Amino acid sequence: MIDSLINSIQSLIAISPAEADIVTTLFKEKTYKKGDFFLEEGRICKHVGFVAKGLMRYYINHDGEEKIYDFSQENEYVCNYESFLSQKPSSKIIQALEDSVVFVISYNDLQSLYKNVREGERFGRIAIEAVFLQLLQDISSFYTETPELRYERFLKNHADLQQRISQYHIASYVGVKPQSLSRIRKRIFTQF
């Protein structure tokens, strides 16, 4: 499973076999059962994770209601960078939706990776740029797109997750109640 992490890093930067050994030493395998928290509200995010197997959801509690704003699945990173980079308590929650295997690296070990892997800092920059760009797109879509368009974008970007995520979670991600999602789905699928 660690090979998927090495391949992910190599898709962004070149690493030597010795540097791959450094990566495998710094990342630790951790398992999460469905429902376990990668990060709880009010805690400091201590790790960046790479999901080798499973699925995580990101959400906030707002007025007693869960609002899902993202998912991480196989071959994706999982982290609340806002808390991780500042080492301040998180207002966001990350929870396993499935039994998951995640390779985690601590803040200090990540600094060691940046220092000891020739293009390590470049890897960090490219990875965080992708997170930043996705965040900007998500914020923009929430204010400029209708729920129907957000659902269509969910289908386009996360087609493989439809069978893995409950309709309740999809509705939360789209920003509607489950009943509204049912109506949206009916309209979309009767068009085809």
Q: What is the pLDDT of residues 36-58, one digit of tens each?
A: 999 999 999 999 999 999 999 99
For residues 74 and 51, the answer to whether their CB atoms sit within 8 Å is: yes
Which residues lie across from 4 on neighbouring strands? none
Alpha helix segments (H runs only) across the chain: 2-10, 17-26, 81-86, 107-116, 120-144, 147-157, 167-174, 178-191
Could you tell me which residues come within 8 angstroms of residue 125 by beta carbon, excluding any fewer than 6 positions away? Answer: none
Task: Spell out the domain ranges in the chain.
Answer: 2-144
pLDDT at 192 over 70: no
pLDDT in tens, 1-18: 899 999 999 999 999 999
Task: State mean pLDDT over 131-142.
Answer: 82
2-144 is classed CATH 2.60.120.560: no
For position 125, what pLDDT does the model report?
92
Kindly state the DSSP code that residue 162 receives in the 8-state scheme.
T
For position 157, what pLDDT does the model report?
82
CA angle in degrees (0–180, nearest 5) for 61-30-135: 40
pLDDT at 75 over 90: yes
Cα gap 145→72, rounded to integer Å:
22
